[in-house]
Structure 1
Amino acid sequence: MTDKIVPVVTRGNALDGATLQSGDCVRQSGVSPQHTPAQNLWFGRVSNAPGHRSPPHHHAHSETGGYVLSGHGRIYFGDDYAEFIDMFEGDFVFVPPFMPHVEVNMSTTDDLVWLTCRTPDNLVTNLPEVPDAALAGYRRA
């Protein structure tokens, strides 16, 4: 007999923090293999406090989609992280597999909050640190 798989609800006050992290970005899963029957999906909430950023990292072979709930985010990428894209409330973003990047909250007063979805899981490979001064326009709180 096979176990029956049914819909699973993760309440907003019960998100799972037992997932891979990178620096000051706080990742909490709502749907993931860690606490639901999901096999090929990681979907969660990511937040950065004012002025905080991640270290350089990539998500291995995972494709990543994001949606900004609130705040002003920036993703640095490319050679020496010299390229960047800005994101604001209501924006969606796609980050390809194996792309080294840095996620930044550009506000020094407001949180950056977004929803992130990865397939097959929240894979995070942290890379060597880069100084804040190398990230054009970035400043800490």
Structure 2
Amino acid sequence: MGHDHHHPQDHAHDHGLEDHWKNNGVRVIKGDRLDPNTAQTPGMFRQAAINHARVGAQKIWAGTVSIQPNAKTGVHHHGALESVIYVVRGRARMRWGDRLEYVAEAEAGDFIFVPPYVPHQEINADPDHPLDCVLVRSDNEAVVVNITDVDPVEAPEEVYWVDAIHRAPE
């Protein structure tokens, strides 16, 4: 017993619909055509690939970030947005908390999740090579709230990524 699905794209003779998908379908944004006209934080260089202005995205923002060797970004958060950082090349050290008292590191191939309103700082933990990452956020604009009045950082507390395949050290 099959289901009778009626989809507009089934009617190839509807040329208006074909033009609709041609102009409003998949978009490829070339890596050398990213837009640097986005919110910035001292110490990093963000570029937008996918956002409302560029492709009409309604619920997502994506782009890249580069941090020079041994550089630290300013402390910031991204408002109500959730962020995912994928480390393409290099070693990232993330510090977060009211006094940046927590720290964790990620390397090429790792993903980092940053919940809404979490004060954080990205650090390139490699003294010799740039840190290159892909960013994805849960809205179509890159909200950045730079924080300039963070209390001095105390000795960092090591926080381990613990999940089904990573156990805390004993």
Shorter-chain-normalised TM-score: which range?
A: 0.7 to 0.9
SS of residue in 1 equivalent to 2:53: coil
Distance 1:25 1:135 in 2: 23
Note the C-alpha offset of 1:37: 1.3
> Residue in 1 aligned with 2:125?
106
Give the Å deviation of 1:61. Answer: 0.6
CA distance in 1, matches of 2:79, 2:37: 19
Moved over 2 A (4+): 133-137
Higher relative contact order (CA 8 A, sep 6+): 1
**Aligned runs of 1:51-70 on 2, under 5 Å?**
51-70=70-89
**Runs of 5+ in structure 2 lacking a partner?**
1-15, 157-170
Deviations 1:70-124 (A, max 9, x none): 1010110113111111010110110000000011101111000111100103110
Q: Determine which of 117, 122, 127 is the counterpart of 2:142.
A: 122
- 1:11-43 superposed Cα distances (whole Å, 9 cap, x missing partner): 111001111010111111111113111111111
**What is the TM-score normalised by the length of structure 1?**
0.87
TM-score, with normalisation over the residues of structure 2? 0.73
Could you tell me whether the CA contact under 8 Å between 1:65 and 1:116 is conserved in 2?
yes
Which of 115, 120, 141 in structure 2 is aligned with 1:96?
115
Q: Which of the numbers 19, 23, 31 marks the counterpart of 2:38?
A: 19
Contact 1:55 1:130 in 2 (8 A): no
* 1:34 matched residue in structure 2: 53
Counterpart AA for 1:81: L
With over 3 angstroms needed to count, the CA separation of the structure-2 counterparts of 1:37 and 1:135, relative to structure 1, is farther
More helix by share: 2
Any stretches of 5+ residues in structure 1 without a counterpart? none
2:26 alignment partner in structure 1: 7
Relative distance call for 1:6 and 1:50 in structure 2 (3 A) is same
Structure 1 vs Structure 2 CA RMSD: 2.2
Larger radius of gyration between Structure 1 and Structure 2: 2
